[in-house]
Structure 1
Amino acid sequence: MKKTNYSYIGIAFIILVFGIIFIPKIIDRISNDDISRHESRSNQQKEQGSKTSDLVFITSNGENRKVPNFSFVDQHGKTITNKDYEGKVYVIEFFFTSCPTICPRMNKNLIHIQNEFIDFEDFGVASFSINPDYDTPEVLKAYAEKYGVTNPNWHLMTGDKETIYKLSNEGFYIYAAANPDVEGGFEHSGNFALIDKNGFIRSRVVNGNPIIYYNGITSESEKTDEDGKSEEISALKEDIKKLLSE
């Protein structure tokens, strides 16, 4: 009977010593492994977030073209600069509120794009009026409400006419000009430019060449324009997603 008691006491003593020596090491090892796995997952997520998509940079004279510095007043009377768009993917257009031709179609397409990316705080639109004498902040605000602009990063901007034209024609090579002989009194391109989070102009490559700009006039539902060219709004949406993931 005493032998049996001594045996139990001996076994209990061995278990106690084992626990004191080895259990802390096991716990420490498990903790370190968890940290390693956590760090591994975090690093993987960072790597995925920093991957560059297949969208190319638009170059000029061997340098990647970046959005020029600008400063205008938006529909809320707030001064907006290119720095307000830093860290955001955004689309650029040139338009005017009294445009009777392509602008309504362009902005309806932008509304569809806005609504598709409604949950993305780092997506925006920059709309520059080429008729700033008429397009005051009050007029721009009414226009925004009419079309359903809700994205806080969608700024409809007005300012000095010559500065806006220089930004359009020289900064983006998107044509804009006053012309009393055309309907509405102004003529301009219906193209959109796509800008990445670092302010660079980006686009997809088609048949070995960057398209540079996206046709903003033809809607997804129309499929093609009057010349049979395919719409590019769906492509623009796909490419916005790519840049948001960079």
Structure 2
Amino acid sequence: MPFLLLPALAIMLFSCGGSDNKLPIYGERDVVKNNAEGKEVTDTIYNTIPPFSFVNQKGDTVSEAIVKDKIYVADFFFTSCPTICPIMKRQMIKVYDKIKGSPDVMILSHTIDPEHDTPQVLDKYATDLGITGTQWQFLNGPKEKVYEIGEKHYLSTLKEDKTAEGGFIHSGAFVLVDKDKRVRGMYDGTTDEGAQKLIADIEKLRVEYSK
């Protein structure tokens, strides 16, 4: 299954001009007008990742607190996927190897088949990939919650389709999220080029936050 493009409503927005080399901000935005000391002030409210509560591969409850003040990468998969997921995980391991041990970067992989992918199944999956520690979390949650946050906020295509191989259609995107919970990059998780661009952009975000 090929890498799926962003939904049509996922509008890419640039936070600043190109001269400062900042990454774009993705997603729809609202422009609101407020009165400050009698003056009209226009504010831009960007799409952000909302609070969440899932269970990781160790059976522990994980909320948005785990990525507080961190840059992180999110993706969506299922352990029995016969198509792009194994390729995506091989590419994500390259990212993991680069960020391993860095306290300010994490990876959150969400299963879209929570009935099958129990914490025990996810734990074996992570172990088979050679993943240790807590920097890369494999998350299980109610299907409607996973699909809602994936489609509305991570801007990823997710749906059940009995005619598709494995029974699901999903984006092969790796999603880069900044410390302010804004989506700052979308990458083809099925290619080395996508993984390497993600690694480079993680470093760009680090520089942005260091200023």
In structure 2, the residue corresponding to 1:155 is in which secondary structure?
strand
Q: Verify the 8 A CA contact 2:122 2:138 in the aligned structure 1.
A: yes
Ranked by relative contact order (alpha carbons within 8 Å, sequence separation 6 or more), the top structure is 2
Structure 2 equivalent of residue 152 of structure 1:
134
Return the match for 2:85 from 83, 103, 122: 103
Contact 2:29 2:47 in 1 (8 A): no
Deviation, 1:121, is 1.3
- Matched residue, 1:92: 74
Cα displacement (A) at 1:59: 4.3
Q: Of residues 56, 59, 76 in structure 2, which corresponds to 1:77?
A: 59
Could you tell me which residue of structure 1 aligns to residue 190 of structure 2?
A: 217
Q: In the alignment, residue 24 of structure 2 is paired with which amino acid?
A: V
CA contact under 8 A between 1:197 and 1:243: conserved in structure 2?
Answer: no
Instruction: Name the one with the larger strand percent.
Output: 2
**Percent identity over the alignment?**
37
Q: What displacement does 1:240 show?
A: 0.5
Matched positions, count: 175
> Quick one: structure 1 residues 106 and 151, their matched pair in 2 at CA, closer, same or farther if it must change by over 3 Å?
farther
Contact 1:89 1:240 in 2 (8 A): yes
> SS of the residue aligned with 2:165?
coil
Query: Could you say if the C-alpha distance between residues 104 and 119 of structure 1 is closer, same or farther in structure 2, counting changes exceeding 3 Å?
Result: same
TM-score when normalising by structure 2: 0.78
Structure-2 separation of matches of 1:126 and 1:140: 12
Q: Is the 8 A contact 1:72 1:80 kept in 2?
A: yes
Write the distance in 1 (CA, Å) between the matches of 2:181 and 2:23: 14
Q: 2:165 maps to what in 1?
A: 183
Query: Which one of the candidate residues 174, 195, 218 is aligned to 2:177?
Result: 195
Choose from 22, 44, 55 the match for 2:23: 55
Distance 2:133 2:74 in 1: 14
Cα separation, 2, equivalents of 1:53 and 1:156: 32
Tell whether the 8 Å contact from 1:53 to 1:243 is kept in structure 2 after alignment.
no
Query: Structure 1 residue 173 and structure 2 residue 182: aligned?
Result: no
**Distance in 2 of aligned mates of 1:190 and 1:159:** 19
The structure-2 alpha-carbon separation of the partners of 1:56 and 1:179, relative to structure 1 and needing over 3 Å to count, comes to same
Which amino acid is 1:178 matched to?
E
Q: Structure 2 stretches of 5 or more lacking a match?
A: 1-19, 31-44
Structure 1 residues 59, 179: CA separation in 2 closer, same or farther (over 3 Å shift)? Answer: closer
Task: Establish whether residue 140 from structure 1 lines up as the match of residue 122 from structure 2.
Answer: yes
Give the secondary-structure state (helix, strand or coil) at the position aligned to 2:166.
coil
Deviations 1:9-60 (A, max 9, x none): xxxxxxxxxxxxxxxxxxxxxxxxxxxxxxxxxxxxxxxxxxx861122241
Q: 2:157–2:170: 8 Å Cα contact kept in structure 1?
A: yes
Residues 59 and 183 of structure 1: is their aligned pair in 2 closer, same or farther, counting only changes over 3 Å?
A: closer
